[in-house]
């Protein structure tokens, strides 16, 4: 099946809203893990303040987790494209993308395994959500 022959039956705005909401949910879960992994006692911040700071992409002082919401936009892009690739029966493109995302950080992950685990968890959520969005869009 050609990717250009794919037609998404539901409303395009609803499809995009699902991608945005899904990415926000994934960001909240990953932020929760990041907050638990951070050293709250060293920062002097409350859990809620640390969570909000990480969620907004600011990080906390002494922790270099400033992502400025880039991962959220990446998640929206993936949740917009992955369901289309699943409907088109082209999951190899998703695998290729994941391999490209993995390569630059490989050395860092051998030293800091918890970061790699968060990466895997976030990608697993995105793939599972993509599957359900694909089923909804192809219904």
Give the tens place of pLDDT for each residue, 78-133. 999 999 999 999 999 999 999 999 888 878 777 878 888 888 999 999 999 999 99
Is pLDDT of 76 > 90?
yes
**43: pLDDT confidence band, cut at 50, 70 and 90?**
low
For 60, phi then psi, to 5°, come to: -130, 160
CA 103 – CA 113 distance, rounded (Å): 15
| Structural domain containing residue 34 | 11-137
CA 26 – CA 103 distance, rounded (Å): 22
Predicted pLDDT at 48: 84
Would you say residue 49 lies in a domain?
yes
Would you say residue 3 lies in a domain?
no
Share of the chain above pLDDT 70, in %: 82
For 61, phi then psi, to 5°, come to: -55, 130
Predicted pLDDT at 80: 95
CA 60 – CA 35 distance, rounded (Å): 10
Would you say residue 5 lies in a domain?
no
pTM over 0.85: no
Would you say residue 34 lies in a domain?
yes
Number of structural domains (the chain) is: 1
Contacts with 16 (C-beta within 8 Å, 6 or more apart), sequence order: 80
């Amino acid at each position: 099946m050609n990717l250009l022959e794919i037609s998404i039956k539901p409303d395009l705005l609803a499809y995009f809203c699902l991608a945005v909401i899904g990415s926000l949910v994934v960001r909240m879960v990953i932020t929760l893990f990041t907050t638990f992994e951070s050293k709250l006692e060293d920062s002097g911040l409350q859990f809620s303040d640390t969570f909000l700071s990480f969620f907004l992409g600011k990080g906390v002082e002494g922790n270099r987790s400033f992502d400025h919401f880039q991962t959220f936009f990446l998640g929206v892009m993936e949740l917009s494209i992955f369901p289309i690739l699943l409907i088109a029966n082209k999951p190899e493109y998703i695998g290729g993308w994941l391999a490209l995302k993995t390569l630059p950080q490989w050395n860092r992950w051998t030293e800091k395994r918890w970061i790699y685990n968060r990466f895997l968890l976030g990608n697993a959520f995105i793939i599972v959500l993509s599957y359900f969005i694909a089923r909804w869009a192809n219904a």
